[in-house]
């Protein structure tokens, strides 16, 4: 009897994530996985949909040691795009309702035209020295019969100065941070949809605080409650500094395109809907 299973879904691709720079090997989606996704079609619970997509990515990726929770959110969407292209090609069609003439049309786009921005790795960039000065090198010191190697300082690319006495060391949002934020909210009841969105962002922002820096030193042991308290008790201008840091370090796929209505020729910038991305 022939072992037909050896010849199923043998195609493998690889891509480089724009955030972590990690090379990931993956396979296209199979029919069984499409059926699983159909169970979530038209579902309004975003957490369940995102968990289903994370399971899909994990099943498709064949790179050893891959952990979906450790990649950035933007890398997750990029990987979904790559898996979709490997499965159904670069053409994507969706329905659009024109804001001007209120007519409906089918839009066909090429996924290859979507702009992808990579994240710089400033943590690997040595401190910039003035022209004519020597670059900083590692210093070897002997202390109490122990050899210590002091590495050159790196740019504090992820430190945001809130005021003269307070700075925050931040990290970019990972899939794991988002999941932990949603899980932390699971016990909260009676919140409206708007309150849920605001609270979720509070948890995510708090979990992105790696440490708090004051004149007394750097504290990495703050609880999630203390971090949320901190965020709720800084002034709006100080909160804006955190928002601007995330904006300055944004990357990944830009799902926004100029789309023209074929009936009235009205052209608008619109984010591509992903409801039927795999169907």
pLDDT for 4-49, tens place per residue?
777 776 789 999 999 999 999 999 998 888 888 887 666 666 778 8
Q: What φ, ψ does residue 184 adopt, rounded to 5°?
A: -65, -25
Residue with tokens 């928002």: 243
pLDDT score recorded for residue 75: 97
From residue 36, alpha-carbon distances to 27, 29, 39, 84, 187 in Å are 17, 11, 5, 15, 28
Percent of the chain scored above 70 by pLDDT? 84
Are 160 and 245 within 8 A, CB to CB?
A: yes
- Could you tell me which residues come within 8 angstroms of residue 84 by beta carbon, excluding any fewer than 6 positions away? 29, 92, 111, 277, 278
The pLDDT-based confidence of 161 (bands split at 50, 70, 90) is very high
Fold of 155-248: rbstp2171 (3.30.2220)
Rounded CA-CA distance 237/258 in Å is 33
Q: What is the largest CA-CA distance in the chain?
A: 81
pLDDT at 192: 85
Give the residue extent of every domain in the chain. Answer: 10-119+252-271, 155-248
Higher pLDDT, 211 or 8: 211
Which pTM was predicted? 0.80
Residues 140, 144, 146: CA angle, nearest 5 degrees: 45
**Residue 221 buriedness (CB in 10 A; 0-12 / 13-18 / 19+):** exposed
**H or E stretch covering 229:** helix 224-232
């Amino acid at each position: 009897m022939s072992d037909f299973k050896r010849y199923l879904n043998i195609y493998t691709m690889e891509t480089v994530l724009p955030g972590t720079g990690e090379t990931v090997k993956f396979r296209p989606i199979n029919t069984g996985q499409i059926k699983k996704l159909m169970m979530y079609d038209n579902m309004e619970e975003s957490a369940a949909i995102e968990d289903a997509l994370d399971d899909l990515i994990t099943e498709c990726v064949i790179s050893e040691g891959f952990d979906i929770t450790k990649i950035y959110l933007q890398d997750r969407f990029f990987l979904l795009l790559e898996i979709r292209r490997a499965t159904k090609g670069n053409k994507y069609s969706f329905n659009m309702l024109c804001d001007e003439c209120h007519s409906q049309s089918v839009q066909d786009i090429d996924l290859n035209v979507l702009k992808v921005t990579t994240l710089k790795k400033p943590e690997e960039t040595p401190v910039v020295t003035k022209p004519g000065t020597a670059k900083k090198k590692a210093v070897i010191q002997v202390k109490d019969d122990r050899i210590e190697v002091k590495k050159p300082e790196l740019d504090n690319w992820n430190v945001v100065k809130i005021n003269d006495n307070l700075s925050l060391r931040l990290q970019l949002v990972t899939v794991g941070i988002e999941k932990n934020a949603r899980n932390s909210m699971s016990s909260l009841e009676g919140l409206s949809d708007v309150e849920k969105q605001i609270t979720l962002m509070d948890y995510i922002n708090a979990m992105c605080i790696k440490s708090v820096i004051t004149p007394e030193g750097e504290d990495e042991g703050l609880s999630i409650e203390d971090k949320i308290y901190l965020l709720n008790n800084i002034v709006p201008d100080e909160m804006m500094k955190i928002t601007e840091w995330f904006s300055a370090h944004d990357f990944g796929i830009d799902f926004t395109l100029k789309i023209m209505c074929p009936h009235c020729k009205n052209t608008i910038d619109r984010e591509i809907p992903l409801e039927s991305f795999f169907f």
